[in-house]
Chains A and B, each alone.
Chain A
Amino acid sequence: MPQSFGHIIKSAIHIAAQINRERATGLIEFEEKELENIFALLILGGFAGLPSPPPPIANELLPYMEKDLLMLLSRTDLAQDPIGVLAGMFEMG
């Protein structure tokens, strides 16, 4: 059954509002992901030679950091082109 005109307008407004919300939070989300990445690097960096807390502290936090660990691994892909990520976010180029 075809959707009513009112329903289409309602959906369009909802989508437009969501796009604006995504734009508004995009930069904060990027910052949050970077902070999470730094946090994971600080905890686990000791295993790769970066300054980090004493290994036993990292070890006590490790059981609760599966998500952060996976995030760290996925962020290594972006590490090749950080400027590109930022440019994409600001819709440059």
Chain B
Amino acid sequence: MNSTAFFLGKGGVGKTTLSSAFALTLARRGAKVLIASLDPAHNLGDALDISLNGKVKTVEPNLDALEVDLAYWVDKYLDDSRKQLKANYSYNVTLNLDSFFNILKYSPGTEEYAVLWAIEDIHCRLGPLYDVVVFDTPPTALSLRFLSLPTISGLWVKELSKLREKILAKRQTITRLNPESPVAASCVDKDDDKVYGQLNTIGARLRKLEQLFAKESFLSVIVNPDQLSVDEALRIQDELTKLDIPLSAVCVNKQGVSDMVWEQNPSLARYPQFVYDFSRGGISTRENLLTIGAGPIADHFLKIVQNPTTERKKK
């Protein structure tokens, strides 16, 4: 068993609480679990009653946790690129490089990519050490952007690869007809062309993440018995459908928080439902998390993980 679970939903619906309760339930049943918070405004440590940072920390036997430091991932990525650039370019071209990278740090999309790199690192480096990896996600906007990035960026990479192939094919023709042309001195083979190679590497990484989100993950959306969180859950469902990412369950949290009559939206009602009553006393300790009753969703998750094809076909 080795699988990944994501809990999505509007800010404040209880993603951290439910994902912590889910992770703790699985850990107490004997599975080795890692829970990672991707939310830039972390509160996973508060839910688990332990101080966390970007490094893996043992919460209790079988349960480890970390809060992803997005600033670290942005810096690390830009630093790697800067070093690579300095190594490949001539000295005079890289004189003003630092100011360029300082601007890039704040360019749109960098934070979403930082989340992706963090997920990739957790999945590839830490994933094999655990039975289950649970992600507590940031609010909807950022979550949807990082979930869609592998598909959107994959399209760009695919088209750029095609264009590069065309360039290489033209270079090959020129070299064949006129070996003395200056073009003959440049790369003509796909295997030798570093840009084409790099496009392939990026493409492979993005496909792996796309596969992780669409085929190997358990995605649960959390709603409260109110219209706003349901509307947002419907938007999440729409976006995930467009990306071909299946939703595995719907959690209705804080049931009974008000006396208002509420009925689940039919579009969300077709997924397995897990209902959690509003805890009037609050959740103040780690043991309180177990009183939420994450057992049924843990059972459903294990059923999907142990028999993925049948369960996905049923959906």
Contacts and interface: CB of A to CB of B under 8 A. Distances in A.
Contacts of A93: none
- Chain A binding surface, main DSSP class: helix
Interface of B: 77-78, 81, 84-85, 87-90, 93, 104, 107-110, 113, 149, 152-153, 156-157, 160, 163-164, 166-167, 170-171, 173-174, 177-178, 180-181, 183, 186, 194-195, 197-199, 202
Nearest to B197: A64
Contacts of A3: none
Interface in A1-26: 18, 21-22, 24-25
A53 interface: yes
A36 B93 contact: no
Contact of A28 (B81, B108, B157, B173): B173
A28 B174 contact: yes
Contacts of B149: 54
Interface size class of A (residues with CB under 8 A): 20 to 34
A75 to B, nearest CB: 14
B163 A28 contact: no
B170 A55 contact: no
A49 B54 CA distance: 35
B167 A59 contact: no
Given A21-B177, A65-B195, A67-B186, 4 more contacts: A22-B181, A39-B164, A64-B194, A66-B88
Contact of A25 (B104, B108, B181): B181
Nearest to A63: B84
15 contacts: A21-B177, A24-B178, A25-B177, A29-B174, A31-B170, A36-B167, A38-B163, A53-B156, A53-B157, A53-B160, A62-B85, A63-B87, A63-B88, A66-B90, A67-B186
A54 B89 contact: no
Nearest to B177: A25
B70 to A, nearest CB: 13
Interface in A51-93: 53-57, 59-69
